Chain A
Amino acid sequence: MNKKIGGGVQLGTVLALVIMCAFLAFANRNFYSPGNIMGILKQTAFNAFLATGMLLCLITAGIDLSVGANAIFCACLMGSLKEAGITNGIILMIVAVLAGALMGFINGTLLTRLHLPHPFVSTLGMKNVLWGAALVVTGNKMINKFPETVQFLGRQTIGTFGGGFPVSFLVIIILYIIMHIFLSRTALGRSIYCAGGNIEAARLSGINTANVLTFCYTMSGIMAALGGILSVGRSGICNGSMATQPYDTDAIAACIIGGASFTGGKGTMIGTMIGALIIAVLRNGFTLLSIDSSVQNIVLGLVIILAVFMDVVRASMEAKRRRLAAAAKMH
């Protein structure tokens, strides 16, 4: 009996990751070098932050297309404040997280209080707003020389194995464990699944669905801000024009590959983690095999379409299984 909420991790997903790793190890001896492994983990961390927020929104049958732009905006906001003379890293990070949260809160409010039809449109609009805002606050410039405290999350490593285990991935592991417990063991976590499964039933059962949804988008904003802080540490700079990079689609792909569904009510942290690893390994593999970046985009685009297709197939197979089970129960 499967006791996990919304279905556990698909065996096939884990298998896909294993096969990809085996193939890459075979194709390029550098793949299993400690340095490369740690590099993959570093790369996973950024997407894993964004995917956390994305997952919450997807479970509610929504979506947040502004996570990537929000992350970059938060990074740029820190950059502009630094330029303005605020050199205390802690203050910069607090401001970034508050700004990210505010943007997420606005997304949630647009959805739940102004009753905009689907978060697809409002968050797509927000993505453009934040892209522009990121350029405005930095005056179209790249900004570097961030305080050490800000760069800690993205840069710091532990030990010496392969250049050290990234702190960012350690934070991700802790975050994912906390979020897993939150989603499966708390009333609010369960309410998120129920709101995604049938929002009217949840509302009439006394769940404040408007607040639940707003919470999810606000969390998504906070996660994006953390991703933004991480990106500053990794690259040492912030750059407003990065806001158009396909970070959102990477996050969506991680969730969907990990078992979430656009129809809501489903998805797990563990699945999302595996999804994020698959994306990172894929991107890493492209680099190792020195595949042209335009081809990378094509393949990644196809992977996302494939993931969505898998979701549809999965849903129809599940419906069939249910029909048969229901027929079997008629007697």
Chain B
Amino acid sequence: MSEYVVELKNATKRFPGVVALNHMQLAVKPGEILGLIGENGAGKSTLIKVLTGVYQPDEGEIYVNGERKVFHNPNESAAAGIACVYQELNIEKLLSVTDNIFINKWIHKGMLLDYPAMHKKAKEVMLSLGQDIDPTKAAGTFGMGIQQMIEIAKAVLIDAKMIIMDEPTSSLGEKEVEQLMKTCRELKARGIGIVFVSHKLEELFELCDRVTVIRDGEYIDTRPIGQWTNDSLITAMVGRTLENQFPKEFGVKGDCFLKVEGLTVGGVLNNVSFEAYSGQILGLSGLVGAGRTETVRAIFGADPLDGGKIFVKGKEVKFKTPKQAIDAGIALLTEDRKGSGLVLAQTIRTNLILSSFKQHSTGMFLDEEKIEKSGQAHIETLRIKTPSIYEIVGQLSGGNQQKVVIGKWLNAEAEIYIFDEPTRGIDVGAKVEVYNVMNDLVKNGKCVIMISSEMPEILGMSDRVIVMRGGSVMAEVDRNSRHFNQEDLMKAAWGGSLDE
């Protein structure tokens, strides 16, 4: 009997012209939480897909409880006890929780489905995961945290020996993350091995027993968590030492570029007021669902406002469409670059001029030469890794896609740049490059507003922080204030008050 519940040995996976996995290995003990970390493009997705039978490795072996297995498809992997909770959940939002859990594993009573039995079982499984919910309700009526639990319940139901969680916390709020961690520990106590993929180092330190680092499709190292540090993990991951995770540079605080007064959107925003200045980064902190995205979308004219005033450089404005906001010098980099930032099927070249057709036209016609030139310039200055500006954006990695969105907004020559979760899901190296863009903007007297759910990022990059909760502003903290620390900002985000 092997010491490991699942062991991948010496796996190599080649795609035409590329080796995605090169002698990769991964070993998970029963009842252990193994962290898996690597930059985007390190081969995590391919590794997961090999384990779940989506891809078949060209070389290498998979052992489950010491027994050699070959998976031809995901069903065989599931039958062997390997389950995966993907980052993009496979939830049928309109169907009930029960339907989701028992999809393709229905309990029959004669010819018909035995719903009472399934509801009962679904209720039990969800309860065992710490969720006391009504399983007859549609899955879409619950939050992301519970939808994820439904995926985990599916894994539990097939008696999974190992569950892979692919960046499970990326779309969860603080409280949901806590619940997820609790559940992970319970699954661990039941003897299930967990592979926990995350970009967030602090989560790994809090949760994992061991952490495996991979880079460029190759296995780098596995150590017990106690033998890793923040720095050694990052070094192992990027293969070089990152001097500073947050290379903050300071601009000169100038005029108030954006002032909002009493912004109200029924049920979402409640009397939101703040000011943002030229030469500064204003951080918008708070839990997921605190109303930060809604605030900036309302400012940008993307969603209608029920009340409140917006002033740009002291002049009151009323935007009915994003176009009017852009014309007034506001840029909004949305949190969902694929859904609302890019036209994935179009080229880098077209995406870069998406919000600056006018600047790139002579009369009626587009100025091809100018577009070409500015496109090349952006590829160089933003270090977009691509053979040419004619590449389809959908083919780029997350970090490079984000740089294209940034390039799009730099082209729009705005005065006020709003970045909503600008570094979500991109690797450490690309993050630093995004921070440097923000630094350059404030040094050139622009005003930057940054929404981030990463506390270290907020503290690392902001000159001033607004903390929101439930659609209201809870606190405003200057970089020089004694409240400018993780504990106090968290306290405000949870509804506590900060004394002056």
B18 adjacent to A328 (CB under 8 Å): yes
Once A3-B390, A187-B366, A194-B343 are accepted as A-B contacts, the answer to whether A201 and B43 lie under 8 Å apart by CB is no
B15 adjacent to A193 (CB under 8 Å): no
Segment 280-331 of A: residues with Cβ below 8 Å from B: 322, 324-331
Interface centre among A2, A186, A197 (most CB of B within 10 A): A197
For the A-B complex, the count of residue pairs with Cβ-Cβ distances under 8 Å equals: 121
Is A160 in the interface zone, CB < 8 Å from B? no
A190 adjacent to B357 (CB under 8 Å): yes
Main SS at interface, chain B: loop
Contacts of A193 in B (CB 8 A): 343, 346, 350
Closest to B55 in A: A327
Please measure, in the bound complex, the distance between the C-alpha atom of A204 and the C-alpha atom of B333, giving whole angstroms. 9
B41 adjacent to A185 (CB under 8 Å): no
Contacts of A324 in B (CB 8 A): 15-16
A206 touches which of B350, B361, B412 (Cβ 8 Å)? B412
Contacts of A6 in B (CB 8 A): 345
Is A191 in the interface zone, CB < 8 Å from B? yes
Is B255 in the interface zone, CB < 8 Å from A? no
Once A206-B323, A322-B395, A331-B217 are accepted as A-B contacts, the answer to whether A198 and B18 lie under 8 Å apart by CB is no
Contacts of A185 in B (CB 8 A): 365-366, 368
A330 adjacent to B354 (CB under 8 Å): no
Please measure, in the bound complex, the distance between the C-alpha atom of A206 and the C-alpha atom of B385, giving whole angstroms. 26
Is B358 in the interface zone, CB < 8 Å from A? yes
Please measure, in the bound complex, the distance between the C-alpha atom of A307 and the C-alpha atom of B423, giving whole angstroms. 42
**Least CB distance, A118 to chain B, in whole angstroms:** 18
Once A185-B365, A194-B350, A330-B217 are accepted as A-B contacts, the answer to whether A204 and B395 lie under 8 Å apart by CB is no
B397 adjacent to A329 (CB under 8 Å): yes
B20 adjacent to A265 (CB under 8 Å): no
Closest to A189 in B: B366
B342 adjacent to A198 (CB under 8 Å): yes
Proximity string of chain B (337-356) to chain A, C-beta cutoff 8 Å, 1 when within and 0 when not: 00111111110001001110
Closest to B342 in A: A201
A1 adjacent to B388 (CB under 8 Å): yes
**Least CB distance, A182 to chain B, in whole angstroms:** 9
B357 touches which of A2, A191, A204, A325 (Cβ 8 Å)? A191
Interface centre among B325, B326, B390, B395 (most CB of A within 10 A): B395
B354 touches which of A207, A325, A328, A329 (Cβ 8 Å)? A207
B334 adjacent to A204 (CB under 8 Å): yes
Contacts of B334 in A (CB 8 A): 204
Is B321 in the interface zone, CB < 8 Å from A? yes
Please measure, in the bound complex, the distance between the C-alpha atom of A203 and the C-alpha atom of B322, giving whole angstroms. 7
A200 touches which of B217, B339, B353, B358 (Cβ 8 Å)? B339
Please measure, in the bound complex, the distance between the C-alpha atom of A1 and the C-alpha atom of B391, giving whole angstroms. 9
Proximity string of chain B (312-343) to chain A, C-beta cutoff 8 Å, 1 when within and 0 when not: 00000000011101110000101000011111
Please measure, in the bound complex, the distance between the C-alpha atom of A6 and the C-alpha atom of B346, giving whole angstroms. 7
Contacts of A194 in B (CB 8 A): 343, 346, 350, 354
Please measure, in the bound complex, the distance between the C-alpha atom of A206 and the C-alpha atom of B365, giving whole angstroms. 18
Chain A residue total in the interface (Cβ 8 A): 34
Proximity string of chain A (248-262) to chain B, C-beta cutoff 8 Å, 1 when within and 0 when not: 000000000000000
A186 adjacent to B395 (CB under 8 Å): no
A198 adjacent to B366 (CB under 8 Å): no
A204 adjacent to B332 (CB under 8 Å): yes
Please measure, in the bound complex, the distance between the C-alpha atom of A326 and the C-alpha atom of B17, giving whole angstroms. 11
Segment 382-412 of B: residues with Cβ below 8 Å from A: 385, 388, 390, 392, 394-397, 408, 412
Once A1-B388, A187-B357 are accepted as A-B contacts, the answer to whether A203 and B46 lie under 8 Å apart by CB is no
Is B19 in the interface zone, CB < 8 Å from A? yes
Is B302 in the interface zone, CB < 8 Å from A? yes
B395 adjacent to A329 (CB under 8 Å): yes
Proximity string of chain A (196-225) to chain B, C-beta cutoff 8 Å, 1 when within and 0 when not: 011011111111100000000000000000
Contacts of B111 in A (CB 8 A): none
Closest to A261 in B: B345
Once A187-B366, A330-B43, A331-B216 are accepted as A-B contacts, the answer to whether A325 and B340 lie under 8 Å apart by CB is no
Contacts of B397 in A (CB 8 A): 326, 329-330
Contacts of A200 in B (CB 8 A): 339-340
The interface of chain B, by Cβ under 8 A from chain A, is 15-20, 41, 43, 46, 216-217, 300, 302, 321-323, 325-327, 332, 334, 339-346, 350, 353-355, 357-358, 360-361, 364-366, 368, 385, 388, 390, 392, 394-397, 408, 412
| 9 shortest interchain CB distances as A-B pairs | A187-B357, A197-B343, A206-B326, A205-B355, A205-B354, A327-B15, A328-B18, A200-B340, A330-B41
Known: A1-B388, A1-B390, A329-B397. 4 other contacts (CB 8 A): A201-B343, A206-B322, A326-B394, A328-B18
The interface of chain A, by Cβ under 8 A from chain B, is 1-3, 5-6, 185-187, 190-191, 193-194, 197-198, 200-208, 265-266, 322, 324-331
11 A-B contacts (beta carbon < 8 Å): A1-B388, A190-B357, A194-B350, A197-B346, A201-B341, A203-B322, A206-B325, A329-B385, A329-B395, A330-B397, A331-B217
